[in-house]
Structure 1
Amino acid sequence: MSDTGRPTLSGVLDEMEHLSGGADRQITVEEIIDCLGKHSFASTILAFSLISTSPASGIPGITAFIGLVVLFLVVQMIFGRDSLWLPGFVMRRDIAAKKLREGVRWLRRPVDFVDRYLHERSTFILHRPWIYLPLFMVMALSMFMPFMEVVPTSGSIASAMIAVFAAGYLMRDGRVVILSMILMSLLPVGVAWFFLGR
């Protein structure tokens, strides 16, 4: 959070960095969610998609796991739940605190830069029925993320696109949400080019 109480992308990183502390231990998904707040769908999606965008994405299976988390969360947003829920096997999954800290440090500079340019605008896309369009696009993308592990960097690219959506939603910046929709619509073209152009 900023000093004015307005949510910021840097604030999400601050929470994650504080949670990781200085100890070398394992941090569970449940701890991350408790830290960000069980009502903060956008913050939670942003946090996990940023983890998958950062060097922490090198952990085997992390792209598929992040896709599963995002899928659970976005479906709940579509149905209008007030507080998020994840099954026990997801909540118990953990990540090394060291990896989380490394990811936060790697993301700090670009996120701080982007934070300065996001602000409330074009908010019509954030309301029903318009919001369903980006939500269904994120849902579809998250369903394909487990299969992206076979295409180098595609999982991180998909996670970055979801992070763009979550950042726009969190900051109430509809233009950024629209940008995320454009990027998500282009990803299948890139994947098809990768396979057909080889």
Structure 2
Amino acid sequence: MSDPANLQQVLDRISQSAVRDRQVTFGDVIDTVGSRSFGPVLMTIGILLLSPISGIPGVPTLSGLLILFIAVQILVLQEGFWLPAWIMERHLPSDKLLKGIRFLEPAATFIDARLHPRLVLVVRGPGSYLLGGICVAIACAMPLMEIIPFSATAAGFALAVFGLAMISLDGLLALLGMLFTGSVATMILVNVL
């Protein structure tokens, strides 16, 4: 199966893995979106954090560990990535996952119609180091997001944007995601300090 080429394909594949009559594991979701590409996986983690799943205690921290594993591998330019079995075997509530996907589906067609390859160096080659570094910073902040309301949702949005930018090779979208991440980080720091 080829890697998904847009948001709708990622959502469709996640929906297929989240069958209501069984528990879905994170590994099931990763297998359906493609375990060779960083973009779909970052986007999937972002979508999970945008869903009601992010409200479950421990999910932001677990997501931070996943992001850290993946982002470090992006930085060393691995072909594909590896995640430990204890992460891949974690169960996700299918009903909440499907609810989050249904919420995002109306926007998928609108978003996919506006993305295309541009400013590719921002998401490939040297730009991938910058994206990886930002993802490491988000991952390190995730445990704090357990106590700051809605911050995990903002992180999920940023990760989904970065993943979608990598899938569509849209560097402009990645730059907008960086601007959003910087703005949210500044806002959190100003309010916490």
Q: With structure 2 as the length reference, what TM-score do the two structures score?
A: 0.92
Aligned partner of 1:160 in structure 2 is 157
Structure 2: which 5+ residue stretches go unaligned?
A: none
Deviation (angstroms), 1:81: 1.2
In 2, the alpha carbon distance for the partners of 1:163 and 1:6 equals 14
Structure 1: which 5+ residue stretches go unaligned?
A: none
Aligned partner of 2:95 in structure 1 is 98
Aligned partner of 2:5 in structure 1 is 7
Give the counterpart of 1:83 among 73, 80, 83: 80
Aligned partner of 1:21 in structure 2 is 19
Structure 1 counterpart of 2:191, one-letter code: F
Give the counterpart of 1:147 among 130, 144, 147: 144
Deviation (angstroms), 1:9: 0.6
Q: Secondary structure at the match of 2:127?
A: coil
CA contact (8 A) 2:158 2:177 kept: yes
Deviation (angstroms), 1:6: 7.0
CA contact (8 A) 2:45 2:159 kept: no
Aligned residues: 193
Identity %: 31
Q: With structure 1 as the length reference, what TM-score do the two structures score?
A: 0.90
Structure 2 counterpart of 1:22, one-letter code: R
Deviation (angstroms), 1:130: 2.7
C-alpha RMSD of the superposition: 1.9
In 2, the alpha carbon distance for the partners of 1:100 and 1:127 equals 30
Deviation (angstroms), 1:133: 1.3
CA contact (8 A) 2:121 2:127 kept: yes
In 1, the alpha carbon distance for the partners of 2:143 and 2:30 equals 22
In 1, the alpha carbon distance for the partners of 2:4 and 2:189 equals 40
Once the two structures are superposed, residues 65-107 of structure 1 have per-residue CA deviations (whole angstroms, 9 ceiling, x without a partner) of 1121111111111111112210121111111211211111111
Once the two structures are superposed, residues 3-25 of structure 1 have per-residue CA deviations (whole angstroms, 9 ceiling, x without a partner) of xx9701110000011111232x2
Q: Secondary structure at the match of 1:130?
A: helix
Q: Secondary structure at the match of 1:187?
A: helix
* Structure 1 residue ranges, 4+ long, deviating more than 3 angstroms after superposition: none
Once the two structures are superposed, residues 10-63 of structure 1 have per-residue CA deviations (whole angstroms, 9 ceiling, x without a partner) of 10000011111232x221111111112220211011011111112222222111
Q: Does 1:33 align with 2:30?
A: yes
Give the counterpart of 2:117 among 104, 120, 124: 120
In 2, the alpha carbon distance for the partners of 1:127 and 1:27 equals 32
